[in-house]
Chains A and B, each alone.
Chain A
Amino acid sequence: MNLLRLITDGIWKKNPILVIGIGMCPTLAVSTSISNALWMTLAATFVLIMSNILVSMIKGIVPSHIRIPIFITIIATFVIVVELTLKAFQPDVDKALGIFIPLIVVNCIILGRAEDFASKNSVLYSAIDGIGMGLGFGLTLTVLAFFREILGANKLLGYTLIPGMEPSLVMIMAPGAFFTLAFMLWGMNAIKSRGKR
């Protein structure tokens, strides 16, 4: 297995959101601004890499019929680490993301990768897979947030773009996220099918 391949797979061929279709809830919820998206990516990727490493380390001793509660315990532990750290050192971020930090526990990407990849592969590969998947998640989130922040809030990176213009509200709400996601899927599939022809 090629290490670089693992990373590019996470971004393109096996992009967790656009291809596998998991982790939608935080994707739709926190992609309202780029800064939210980036902090969410950082938090989720940290949990993903750490849980992948740990799951891979203990894969030999975990009986398969109790693996899910064990994975969840590990994931939840890292999520609380992230939550407390943010509360102590980045209270504004904690305020902005609110409930979606604790909800990383049930982010399907993390449990999915633990189950699908880390419990079957070596520690190094699992860590790299975490990085790749995290990058894929983060890039998708950032692109989504880029469009939603511009169209929905008339802002970019928190700064007003065109003073006085009323932004389109629907883009900041859930439907806007679905629309943008649909366009991204369309674009991605268009590029992919062009290569096949």
Chain B
Amino acid sequence: MQTILKPTLIIALIAFAASMALSHINKVTLQRIKERELQKKEEALKIVLPGYTIVEKDKVLQVEGKDFRYSRAEKQVDKDVVSAYAFETEKAGYSGLIKSVIGVDENMKILGMAIIQQSETPGLGARSVEIASKETFFGHFFGSSAAGTGEVLAPWFQEQFKGLDLSRKIGIMKKGEWRSENEALKKELLESNSVSAITGATITTKAVRDSLEIKTEILKKLIQMETEKRKEDKKKK
């Protein structure tokens, strides 16, 4: 009896103390973590729909029994009102899901994309959310003239999706790190509707690309439906 009861009690006691401690820590941090996540989503929406104002949030479109959540935003262009749509998508990358928010206009041109969750390898796939710094080491510490302006840039990997056509196939090129000042490469990528892969993390790049493409069909339907709805609304007026 002694050999069973005593160890059981001790383990139970320690597990109890551990749960107490953890529930306390959870209580302290939960609110903050939730706020951060919400904030991140809000920021992501602003990034993927630049210049637009969100009109309808968290709408649901049911297609083949599956829910497709999206937000609709509007912008005044000349005398017309154009719509844009933002939605979340995810696909398994090299290690775990990669979740991102994407904004497209009525012609399925990508307005912006932001990765909101990933657990890729540090230094490789995790560079998909890395912000390219213009500053160099010597510039930063010795104040040489080559020092950058310190402006905050969007992660280069996400930036390059901007302007691509989602209704066509998106290609992957191995052109290395892409910088906004590299006009020639930017043009080449845009013309061939491609992105440049993260060096050493082709799986991550592919996963992000595929996570966009799996939504293409449903997106086409959605845009068609919404556009018709807008037209009818106009007629009624």
Contacts and interface: CB of A to CB of B under 8 A. Distances in A.
Given A87-B36, A160-B137, 20 more contacts: A29-B121, A58-B14, A62-B10, A63-B7, A65-B7, A66-B11, A69-B11, A73-B11, A77-B18, A84-B26, A88-B33, A89-B32, A98-B95, A98-B96, A99-B96, A156-B137, A157-B137, A159-B136, A160-B135, A169-B200
Interface string A91-110: 10001111110000000000
B65 interface: no
B153 interface: no
A152 interface: yes
Interface of A: 29-30, 32-33, 36, 58, 61-63, 65-66, 69-70, 73-74, 76-77, 80-81, 84-85, 87-89, 91, 95-100, 152-153, 155-163, 166, 169, 172-173
A81 B137 contact: no
13 contacts: A58-B14, A66-B11, A74-B14, A81-B21, A81-B25, A85-B29, A91-B36, A95-B118, A96-B126, A98-B96, A153-B123, A159-B139, A172-B124
A95 B15 CA distance: 29
Per DSSP, chain B at the interface is helix
Interface of B: 6-7, 10-11, 14-15, 18, 21-22, 25-26, 28-29, 32-33, 36, 95-96, 118-124, 126, 129, 133, 135-141, 146, 176, 199-200
A88 B25 CA distance: 11
Nearest to A85: B29
Contacts of A66: 7, 10-11
A173 B122 CA distance: 10
B131 to A, nearest CB: 10
A163 B132 CA distance: 12
